[in-house]
Amino acid sequence: MAGRMMRYAALAALLQPLALIACDRAPPAPAATATTATPTTGAAQAPRPAGPERLVLAFGDSLYAGYGLDRGQSLPDAIQARLRAAGVNATVVNAGVSGDTSAAGRQRLAFTLDNQARKPDLVLLGLGGNDVLRQISPAETRANMTAMLDELKRRDIPVMLTGMKAPPNLGADYVARFDSIWPDLARTYHGTLYPFILDGVIGDPALMQGDRVHPNAVGVAKIADRVAPLVKERLAD
């Protein structure tokens, strides 16, 4: 627990300057996502297993988009590679947009789903990091996440949430209201939950980029090692 709190404290120390950066980045218009929701590339070179293709839509922010990484090194790429290595004929579509808040994601979700080749077998939903950087009200984040889950439920698309946590310097009340969003929604919508997408990575310079917020390729690989088995299990369901 102490180690985890130290990692969260590292995020807290970066909160104020990064909040200014995030606020300077305007959310993209929904139409701009048509070219960002594309199959991952690096993992596509791996042999494709036999069996029906499973389509996974990775819908999130820069932690999905692969901010600061070379082409083919994003988290969706790494998850796709691990699924295929495990014998799952999966294509993971990267619909991550750097700078997206939960509100921006809510605006573009239906558009992104409508422009897929077919209905996804699973959506990985990873938003909230930019909300906490901007200190957006947890009630607003919860409402946006709920709206997106309602849309996925309406379309009968299973979901897996990769959660976010608030740094402790925002105060106990904010942290409690923010951190409870993902476990609450996972229970309500029967979704699989990976509680904190940066768990085991944030705070370790060997696993993070120079900004100390985004994982490097090694950090992404560590996250994928933990997330991919949950994706495989959910696809099996």
**In the predicted model, is pLDDT for residue 118 greater than 80?**
yes
**In the predicted model, is pLDDT for residue 206 greater than 70?**
yes
Q: Tell me which CATH homologous superfamily contains domain 2-236.
A: SGNH hydrolase (3.40.50.1110)
pLDDT mean across residues, the chain:
86
Element of type H or E holding 63: helix 62-65
Per-residue model confidence (pLDDT) at position 51: 83
Q: 91 vs 7, 45, 71, 80, CA distance in Å?
A: 32, 12, 16, 6
Per-residue model confidence (pLDDT) at position 171: 97
Per-residue model confidence (pLDDT) at position 37: 57
Measured N-to-C along each axis, helices 181-188 and 138-154 cross at an angle, to the nearest 10 degrees, of 20
Q: Which residues are registered as beta bridge partners of 208?
A: 215
Residue type, 165: K
**Residue 166: how many CB atoms within 10 A of its CB?**
25
**Residue 74: how many CB atoms within 10 A of its CB?**
28
Per-residue confidence at 38, pLDDT binned at 50, 70, 90? Answer: low
Per-residue model confidence (pLDDT) at position 68: 97
Under a CB-based contact definition with an 8 Å cutoff, are residues 207 and 218 in contact?
Answer: yes
Per-residue confidence at 50, pLDDT binned at 50, 70, 90? Answer: confident
**Averaged pLDDT, 121-140:** 98
**Residue 19: how many CB atoms within 10 A of its CB?**
15
Task: Give the residue with greater pLDDT, 10 vs 102.
Answer: 102
Report DSSP state, residue 206: T
Under a CB-based contact definition with an 8 Å cutoff, are residues 123 and 59 in contact?
Answer: yes
**In the predicted model, is pLDDT for residue 30 greater than 50?**
no
Whole-angstrom Cα distance, residue 166 to residue 93?
28
The catalytic residues are 62, 211, 214
Token reading at 130: 């930019």
| Residue 176 burial (C-beta neighbours within 10 Å; 0-12, 13-18, 19+) | exposed
**Averaged pLDDT, 113-121:** 97
Instruction: Give residue limits of the domains in the chain.
Output: 2-236
